[in-house]
Structure 1
């Protein structure tokens, strides 16, 4: 992964995209790291101050012994070596300076033997700030060939200067051990705190995950139409009032109960409306049939004026239109009730040829094109219902385009075995806002799709209902200059299973 992808706002290292438990664990560990850093800093400073004070006390004692022993005489030949003073421990450095020159200098090794200093070390010792006799010495730190030392330079009453030093290695080793121990203990504690904290936080937030799972399941339910079984609820363990998560779970369950009641009421109201439409459509068939019959009889037996003749023809056309509307409503009502299809082998190739031939007679002003495969495409379906689907699709293309439009009807077999029927026209297209509701009932095209025949707005609804009853689907793709409806039907032998399900 590149550095750029890690820096973008939507990257995985952006805290805004972390889960809540990750944020809590990270915040807890960050707080513990800060606490460890503060405690470690204070402990290091305290130990450093303590060791420094202890070292300065030892240095003052060693300097006092060396000054009393090594600066007893003013005669250079009679002054003893300060390293030979009693009580000087391993690592102690002593030097005597007289008249700006180092007379004698050395240190005691770990084995008790005397070690000499290098010339550069002598120059460093000669340049040390000197403290007058009887005053408190001011220790300084210098880097010598033998390591880092804390040194004091004291002028004696005989005019010479005694330099005393103690190594800083023991102090630094103690501080390094303290740092290493503290780091190891802190890392172990942070690791254990991270593991235990993750387990505790995960267990604490488990009810919140249940709430999220319930909300996700409900979001995937088709709640827009039909009978909905909203049986998903937050478990009792995550919906007990009294805690923050429990209050949310309880509120979510109450909301789901309210939604379930509203959906049940909506379903009951929808069923009443559908039953009313079915009953009304059924009752309207008889008077409409009688109306058409009497109109035909009057037209054949009576003589009318030209205006009367036009009125009679208008009455006849409107009764036919209302009859088609009633039949469409009855068809949708039967499909809504789930009435079984009359299944049998259907040759879609032959069915498409016959349906297009009928449309050529009805609308000779259009250019009708057939695209057929070499082999017949057969499915197990209700032939009458599929014929109605094809009639509606072809009539839709004819009614909503102008004469001269090319309408192409095709059938083929997809790679997965589905039968695919497409009806394509090169008309002005369907507006994007209408494409979202084009399969809804009583949806009518606006002025963007011209035509001369009146429509009921039920044709495409019937297409979708019939195709879905066969276990298939219908899709629309439209843009200016090309509109295509594609019907997908299961392969032969599959429609019966889909219909029975």
Structure 2
């Protein structure tokens, strides 16, 4: 987990799905979209306003030019056949177009070029001029010499005078306006986008801190052991006067409550563990006395056959109770974190010795060893590691039927760690119980809770959760009775505690016909 200054990576983000984007990204994009819409609206309004203004201005100039052309084109007195050229009227500017239409024929048509000379119009231009409606509103037309604003006026003397002004200046002005609006808007959007992104990121920082705190807490091992729940939302992001600060303040209050609950739970667990340790320690003395007096009575007194069986039962149960007390004491020491007596331990030699012991106790099983040519040496507590292997082998012995093959393997993995495996070909562990095999006092059978089922299954091979190894056939209800040796359900708990105290891990995989426990320990010296 990264620190509070780090970034929380969100898995599975799809950039094509906006719902998976960061909130700050969506806020920036929404703000930019609104700004683009505003700039577009302002640009369209400005363009329309400027176009209307320039059009009105051009229409005013066009009306004045039309009046000058109409008055100048009046026929001269005494010369009814003469018609002055409207284009020669005074005050007509460069680019002005004038034409006279008489009896449906265009005459005296042309425009003033940039050098103040007269330029004629093409026949296509004449057709466009003939199509104009006299005394109507000015219209825009595209001629061979460019775009023009045209108006046709019927003069009192019967002629139709056409006047036009070029649209180039208007179009250039509007184009300049468009480019100005685009450049200014784009620059403004870039500046506002960068500034807005920085401000939004700064504003959203408290939410990121809340997310990081919640993520860090979610990854803490809160299920067991002493938990230091010291992470909190910074005070700057936990001010109850704001929306985000209110969430941060509530989260801190929740974390305080959780921390208090965890501390209370830890205190309760410590009291229970201390009680178990103290009770186990105190039970050792009376149990030793019971075993001693039992042995003394068997040596010095004469009993009937029933009495002898009863005394043997007392002795066996006291021995079983003593083993349970020793297991509880060991777990208590491991919980307290007492230091290990570290030495170089040869796991190959340890496996040979432990398997030899089990062969004597269960000659009906097939015991096999798979060892490397070179010794596999680790740094650890030899006594405790022997107990790990002994518990796993005893587990296989107690909870599998005679004839089962149990294979003990030792190897050195590629990363340098040492791996010890205990595999049997028994019936396997029920899938619904597989994740509980390392729990204390957990048992796969229901005999402790269902005496009737236990009595019905008496005499059959049992299945202990503490062992977790494959065993003989079990009833469909998993209510097999314990074996004659009995199990406390602590064997695998001790294995897990010892292995974790050595910095290693233990795993189990099981299916019908194969159950394997794999112990992985940190690498140590490679030579014995």
TM-score norm. by structure 2 comes to 0.86
- Provide the residue aligned with 2:358 in structure 1: 359
Question: Taking structure 1 as reference, are residues 87 and 484 closer, same or farther at Cα in structure 2, changes over 3 Å only?
Answer: same
1:118 aligns to 2:92 (yes or no):
no
Segments of structure 2 that go 5 or more residues without pairing to the other structure are 1-11, 447-462, 464-469, 473-481
Task: Check the 8 A contact 1:73/1:158 in 2, yes or no.
Answer: no
2:316 match: 317
State the shift of 1:104 in Å.
Answer: 2.1
Deviation at 1:103, TM superposition (A): 1.6
What does 1:252-267 correspond to in 2, within 5 Å?
252-267=251-266
1:66-124 per-position Cα deviation (integer Å, ceiling 9, x unaligned): 12222436988510111111221111111111221212211111222111111211111
Q: Deviations over 1:47-72 (max 9, x none)?
A: 11111111112112212221222243
Give, in angstroms, the shift of residue 217 of structure 1.
Answer: 2.7
Moved more, 211-220 or 447-456: 447-456
Matching of residues 116-195 of structure 1 within 5 Å:
116-131=120-135, 137-195=136-194
Deviations 1:351-383 (A, max 9, x none): 101111222222223222210000111122211
State the 1:459 CA deviation.
0.9
1:5 is aligned to: none
Q: Aligned partners of 1:289, 1:260: CA distance in 2, in Å?
A: 43
Matched, 1:59 2:91: no
Task: Check the 8 A contact 1:71/1:162 in 2, yes or no.
Answer: no
Match of 2:93 in 1: 89
Provide the secondary structure at the position in 2 that maps to 1:375: coil
RMSD between aligned alpha carbons? Answer: 2.3
Q: Give, in angstroms, the shift of residue 413 of structure 1.
A: 1.1
**Equivalent runs, 1:358-377 vs 2, <5 Å:** 358-377=357-376
**More displaced 10-residue stretch of structure 1: 312-321 or 459-468:** 312-321
Hey, what does 1:285 align to over in structure 2? 284
**Take 2:431 and 2:60, find their aligned partners in 1: how far apart are those partners?**
91
Deviation at 1:331, TM superposition (A): 0.7
Cα pair 2:47 2:178 within 8 Å, conserved: yes
Distance 1:98 1:400, change over 3 A: farther
Q: 80-89 or 151-160, which moves further after superposition?
A: 151-160
Q: Which moved more, 1:328-337 or 1:242-251?
A: 242-251
Deviation at 1:332, TM superposition (A): 0.3
Match of 2:520 in 1: 488
Within 1, Cα distance between the matches of 2:171 and 2:406? 93
Aligned pairs for 1:100-115 within 5 A: 100-115=104-119
Separation of aligned partners in 1, 2:431 and 2:183: 66
**1: CA distance, partners of 2:366 / 2:76:** 133
CA offsets per residue over residues 304-350 of structure 1, 9 Å max, x none?
44444443333333222222211110110111122222222221111
Aligned to 1:23: 26
Q: CA deviation at 1:201?
A: 1.7
1:49 aligned residue: 52
CA deviation map 1:179-223 (0-9, x unaligned) = 111111111111111111122222222223332332233223222
Q: Secondary structure at the match of 1:415?
A: coil
3-state SS of paired residue (1:24): helix
Paired with 2:242 and 2:422, the residues of 1 have a C-alpha distance of 59
Aligned counterparts of 1:253 and 1:78: Cα–Cα separation in 2: 102
1:477 pairs with 509, 523, 528, which one?
A: 509
Question: Partner of 2:436: helix, strand, or coil?
Answer: coil
1-side partners of 2:357 and 2:99: how far apart? 125
Q: In structure 2, how many angstroms separate the alpha carbons of the residues matched to 1:303 and 1:212?
A: 77
Closer, same or farther: CA 126–395 of 1 in aligned 2, 3 Å: same
Match of 1:457 among 465, 489, 502: 489
Q: Does the residue aligned with 1:290 lie in a helix, a strand or coil?
A: helix
2:64 maps to 1:32: no
Contact residue 426 and residue 471 of structure 2 kept, 8 A: no
Which position in structure 2 is the counterpart of 1:498?
A: none
How far has the Cα of 1:385 moved from its partner?
0.6
CA distance in 2, matches of 1:121, 1:462: 106
Q: Name the CA shift for 1:383/1:79 in 2 (closer, same or farther; >3 Å).
A: same
In 1: Cα distance, 2:128 partner to 2:491 partner: 107
Q: Any conservation in 1 of the 2:421–2:518 contact (CA below 8 Å)?
A: yes
Whole-Å separation in 2 of the counterparts to 1:302 and 1:76:
169
> How far off its partner does 1:470 sit?
1.4
Tell me the distance in 2 between the aligned counterparts of 1:396 and 1:98. 123
Deviations 1:464-486 (A, max 9, x none): 11111112221223333322211
How far apart, in 2, do the equivalents of 1:407 and 1:467 lie?
21
Which residue pairs with 1:423 in the alignment?
A: 422
Cα distance in 1 between the residues matched to 2:74 and 2:274: 124
Contact 2:377 2:525 in 1 (8 A): no
